[in-house]
Structure 1
């Protein structure tokens, strides 16, 4: 017959001593609990002997302070005896005589309970206290905190504090019922996914480890291939209801504790759990993995865009070193031509002759028709290099990244974010500008960061398009706002079919329209739109 399993102690010996012994008495505690009122002084003086008066006063004050009586042979601190002896003008040493009379002590304690309204712990009171403690045990399963709260509630309800073993039993039962309530709620959320959760712990024939174990490992280096792997993992985790609204009913500490337990245990260890607890731990771990993957995806997206932006800046600098001098000389020539035209208009001269004095007409025509020089000029813009890198390397990961958070264009219940489509080119009715129905908008979050979305698309017909006088300046501002704004600018350019040499039209946003569920500034690379 196997030996019985010994239940581990709920509290350590030091913690038990804190709840059973007299606390450290300060002047404030002595003045609050061990100072007799006029009515209490009358009760004390009704006793016949000095020892009984002092002992009755000690039991009265201890009952008000600790909610219990003195145990057999228990001696209160000297500070208590000195304080009460001074008030009654009785020698504190006479308490030894009172402590030896157990019958008198019990009789006095019964009278005090009747006078002050204290009652012993019954079955009904035990059940009521356990029900009161369960919500707190859901929020925090820490035994010390629950024991402290239970003692305070006993004193508030004027219930005599029982033995420490009884209190530990109440706390243990409350913790067990709280855990069962959490498992029941999570079981309702994952209803229909039980087999899929259990399958995560099983090792497939063509793999060396269980899917649950593989979920703990994902690449962190910022590469397009790793970016796609993170998206695939996020899609896999979102097959489960990790963003169910009922999860808000659980304290974050409870979910975090279950997730930490699931992260610590192996698949084989979890398989030994009871079904309800096993699925609750696995699901809490999936919720944590979904949140972590979302953060890692957004951070990797920013790092990818910053990497390609730096490469584009280096390519632009190399282009300037190779052809910058020729471009500067060409610009100086055009400046002289323009100055000659201005002078000719001012002096009423022939403009063609004024131009030919600076540059022969044939050379001017050849310079204007020199497409290679124009191409070199465009290559000085880092965004031109970034657009080619985007089209060649990272367009597919970024498109899948955008669809991961909002495949439909309106509020996405699965992802938990309020984003807008910047893939399909269609503007949701809920986010269409009311004054100009063809102007797409994106709303900034409460912290100031916006979601680029359709803000980079010029969807208006020609008759409704707004004039953009400083497009190049806006694009330069986008490079300073962060990688997400640059990505958005290139997405708009490539999706609208504009050639690479034609700058995109960057839509702007009027501030003050907050989107409470939008990603944070850190996740959007600090992008901030401005009023034109």
Structure 2
């Protein structure tokens, strides 16, 4: 089916919007189709049974789904019977009502007068357009906007027009919202800035790679070279001096435009109208700039971890290497102490006792040997980091010069130290000023930073600053300009202006005091009560003991009866054996989840011929065999087709919507109700080894010595007999979870953790 440009839905989707999906749900039937006493009085004014039932059905359909009886192709028999039973009528008499269109129109006019409904006209057209425009400024999804349009019409008691009319209004609202957004983004953009944006789409000196491709392809292996290359891209974006006003644009809109910038290559962007092209590129580059800064901080964090890991490893190697010599020295030390102790206790001449031990030169030599292998009393490794300072200097001046750090609370001293090093780098100074701040430095660092003569060791001072800076950034004590992950915490909060202007402080309905002193006092009292309760009842806790300040839990024993095991085996035996492709296609027929995997650019759902390709791509990525191997094993689907589908349809927004469809379907299954009410969840993870160097991959002793990523999924307590986890990846964000063919919760939240 080829859709007109202003048609946003397929014929099947149009029918679903005005269908009655709950004809077997007694609760929902009672909510929408239970007639009141007043309704029955009005209905009984009509003489014939089929007119009474027809009038009642017209009223019911206007309440839900909101359209006239003429627009309903199929009215479920259960709905007809439900309403007929309330009127003590036979459902079959409704067939007589369908014969006269005049009666239908007259009854519709009567309902409009009695209940305040009105037909859709030009005034309603304008009203709906203005309402939808507000939503379109926030969300580009056509299905969402059409649902909102139907909700608005239903709330205003406006009878639904033809779905194609609503689609046209939504289409125009989206176009206007885009134009308003594009104008807002480009109205202050100078000609010079636009020329620079066009330059990004041109080839670089190698005449092969465009600047756009170069910016997108930042390396991810943690090294000082990688840090430099990331900062080069950050500085290139800063040189454009975009400074676009994005505060007035909804974050959803910005994410949508940024996603288009990630997806489109230079040749595709050149085809757009200028205003759209510049808007997409401006938002994309602003968003990418924040991500690049975050990547630079991630590289710095990895390098600092590597620095300290190297120190730990070197210390352990020295301990092993010197263990033999240390053992020999300890034996001599024991003899020496015993000889001296004997001389003191028996009041003998110490010099004679020492002569009896043998040659004094041996003991003297052991002392000098001990001095060579001796370690600090706390056996720390910081004294071994001096040799690694040169590696840090390969990127640290770039870090201090190009990233803007700001204190969030009491980190002013650390920021001042950063500025001291930055000034030294800019002016080629070699000596740390004596008045440089050191109060942020921990005691273990001060032993190396502060020399005996009162001066400051430049190498250790800079290493201490880099270490504390990394810790403060991840703790949220320091924020970075233009960063996405490490931005000012106040940006997550309601601004003071909004708080005052909207009087949210009076309307928010917050259940705690707005005074920090009152809140802390209340929490302290609550904590004290809980501690006292635990103290009084600790002896009564089953399988729990509290002794010596330690809590001990008794090990849980396996307690599964033989009957349960047999029942479990019987249940599994009842589940049919089915291949993953068959199951995926079958679930697609049940739920039509693939209709939410819309194209990132056109927002169109997949057509019939695209669905098998889409399923193959989901399987290829979900089973980690890759698109290329899947293409090799299929005769009718090519690598190019699956690569295109993966890039344009398996993006994060589409996956979340498809996932919501799957878990909502499961939620309404009878079997799911036996596995809980959905208020609790369980989490598990999947470890994926990474064969290449990546800033997001790390070692985890629990999984061996290889580097990898651990992906965690959070699933509610409702499961069904069929539960398959499909893991997908794409080129940009690397990890997404398409949870289960069957799951729970209307919107499953997905979190990515890297360990």
Same fold (TM over 0.5): yes
Corresponding residue for residue 77 of structure 2:
78
Residue 197 of structure 1: aligned partner: 197
Aligned to 1:449: none
Structure 2 counterpart of 1:456: 441
What does residue range 122-271 of structure 1 map to in structure 2 within 5 Å? 122-187=121-186, 193-205=193-205, 207-240=207-240, 246-271=245-270
1:434 aligned partner: none
Match of 1:452 in 2: none
CA distance in 2, matches of 1:348, 1:243: 87
The alpha-carbon deviation at position 351 of structure 1 amounts to 8.5
CA offset digits 1:88-116 (Å, max 9, x no partner): 33333333333222222211211110111
TM-score of the two chains, using structure 1 as the length reference:
0.71
Q: Is the 8 A contact 1:456 1:492 kept in 2?
A: no
Task: Provide the aligned length of Structure 1 versus Structure 2.
Answer: 458
Change (3 A) 1:185 1:19: same
Q: Deviations over 1:127-180 (max 9, x none)?
A: 232222223223321111211111011010111211111100111111112222
- Other structure's SS at 1:193 match: helix
> How many angstroms apart in 2 are the aligned matches of 1:178 and 1:77?
38
Query: For 1:226-276, what per-residue CA distance to the aligned partner results, in whole angstroms no more than 9, with x for missing partners?
Result: 2221222223233456887x5355444433322222222211110111112
Of 230-239 and 103-112, deviating more is: 230-239
1:504-519 aligned within 5 A: 515=477, 517=479
For the structure 1 residues 31 and 181, does the alpha-carbon distance in structure 2 shift closer, same or farther, using more than 3 Å as the test?
A: same
CA distance in 2, matches of 1:97, 1:387: 95
Please give the TM-score of this superposition, normalised by the length of structure 2: 0.52
Alignment map for 1:365-444 (pairs within 5 Å):
370=368, 374-377=371-374, 382-389=381-388, 391-406=389-404, 420-425=415-420
After alignment, is 127-136 or 208-217 more displaced? 127-136
1:15–1:144 contact (8 Å) kept in structure 2: no
Distance in 1, matches of 2:404 and 2:354, equals 57
The within-5 A match list for 1:38-77 is 38-71=37-70, 76-77=75-76
Three-state SS of the structure 1 residue aligned to 2:415 is: coil
Q: Which runs of 5+ in 1 are unaligned?
A: 413-417, 428-436, 442-454, 458-467, 476-488, 526-532
Between 1:375-384 and 1:112-121, the stretch displaced more is 375-384
Q: Which of 11, 14, 18 is residue 13 of structure 1 equivalent to?
A: 11
Structure 1 contact 133–146 (Cα < 8 Å) conserved: yes
> Residues of 2 paired with 1:63 and 1:319: CA distance?
83
State the alpha-carbon separation in 1 of the partners of residues 72 and 131 from structure 2: 34
* Change beyond 3 A, Cα 1:190–1:440: farther
Matched position secondary structure for 1:247: coil
Q: Please list the CA deviations of residues 398-430 of structure 1 after superposition, one character each: whole Å capped at 9, or x if unmatched.
A: 3322443336x6579xxxxx9835434489xxx
Contact 1:137 1:174 in 2 (8 A): yes
What is aligned with 1:28?
27
Establish whether residue 272 from structure 1 lines up as the match of residue 257 from structure 2.
Answer: no
| Cα distance per residue 1:1-35 (max 9 Å; x no partner) | xxxx9526311222111123444423223323333
| Equivalence for 1:87 | 86
Partner SS, residue 69 of structure 2: coil
| Residue pair 2:339, 2:354 contacting (<8 A) in 1 also | yes
Distance 1:346 1:296, change over 3 A: farther
Q: Cα 1:133–1:360, aligned 2, differ >3 Å: closer, same or farther?
A: farther
SS at match of 1:396: coil
Is contact 1:406–1:419 with CA below 8 Å preserved after alignment?
A: no
Greater Rg by CA:
1
The answer (yes or no) to whether the contact 1:242–1:290 under 8 Å persists in 2 is: no
Give, in whole Å, the separation in 2 of the partners of 1:8 and 1:84.
Answer: 37
SS, match of residue 230 in structure 1? helix
- Pairwise mapping of residues 81-120 of structure 1 onto structure 2 (< 5 A)? 81-120=80-119
For the residue of structure 2 that corresponds to 1:10, the secondary structure is: coil
Rounded to whole Å, the distance in 1 between the matches of 2:464 and 2:211 is 44
Paired residues of 1:312 and 1:385 also in contact (CA < 8 A): yes
Of stretches 141-150 and 249-258 in structure 1, the one that deviates more from structure 2 is 249-258
SS at match of 2:110: helix
Structure 1 residues 215 and 76, CA gap change in structure 2 (3 angstroms): same
Q: Which residue of 1 aligns with 2:603?
A: none
* Distance across 1 between alignment mates of 2:155 and 2:339: 96
Q: Taking structure 1 as reference, are residues 403 and 27 closer, same or farther at Cα in structure 2, changes over 3 Å only?
A: same
Residue aligning to 1:480: none
Report if the CA contact (8 A) 1:410-1:421 is conserved: no
Deviations 1:53-112 (A, max 9, x none): 222222222222232322189563322332333333333333333322222221121111
Q: Give the superposition deviation at 1:439.
A: 6.4
Greater relative contact order: 1 or 2 (C-alpha under 8 angstroms, separation 6 or more)?
1
